[in-house]
Amino acid sequence: MERVFIALGSNLGNRQDNLNRALAALAATVAITARSSVYETDPAYVLDQPSFLNMVVAGDTALPARSLLSELKRIEVDIGRVPTRRNGPRVIDLDILYYGNQVIETGRLVVPHPRLSERLFVLEPLAEIAPDMRHPGSDLTARAMLERLREGE
């Protein structure tokens, strides 16, 4: 089993229902051990879209990282995600933030998530449930990354 952290976000349709459906679908392959509060956040990168609901979950999975990524993409499609512009609006978005303490870089998968340290909408819920979780690349805790990001605002 591997401890994973997954970010969930939604800004189209019934956002809370989309998160709930994703959580229910995740339960088939990830034993969720912690879940953050739900945060309403302004969009990042592409600003002309509705606000998001975001959260982070921690859990344990027997799936290898690439298989977990495939499962997350399948869940997104099942809930109704369709391809749009990069960082555009979406029914659901599921991202692997951490896969144990592993550093993974393949064409389809980069873990830890490469933009984790620049995303308040990820760091706030992550720091809520795992403030002392250390980034295997920088060795900074989730709390420290959040503080650095807030200081830069």
Q: Please count the CA atoms within 13 angstroms of the CA of 106 that sit on its side-chain side.
A: 7
95 noted as active-site residue: yes
CA distance 105 to 50: 31
Q: Which of 95, 143, 148, 150 is catalytic?
A: 95
- 26-79 pLDDT, tens digit each: 999 999 999 999 999 988 877 788 999 999 999 999 999 999 999 999 999 999
- 120-150 pLDDT, tens digit each: 999 999 999 999 999 998 889 999 999 999 9
Q: Where are the domains of the chain?
A: 2-116
Write down the pLDDT at residue 82: 81
Q: pTM above 0.85?
A: yes
For 14, the token pair is 């019934």
Q: Are 49 and 80 in contact (CB under 8 A)?
A: no
42 noted as active-site residue: no
Cα-to-chain-centroid distance, residue 59: 12
81 noted as active-site residue: yes
Q: Which of 93, 108, 115, 150 is catalytic?
A: 93
78 noted as active-site residue: no
- 19-32 pLDDT, tens digit each: 999 999 999 999 99
Fold for 2-116, please state it.
Alpha-Beta Plaits (3.30.70)
Residue 118 main-chain phi, psi, to 5 deg: -105, 5
Strand duo 104-105 + 93-99: pairing: unpaired
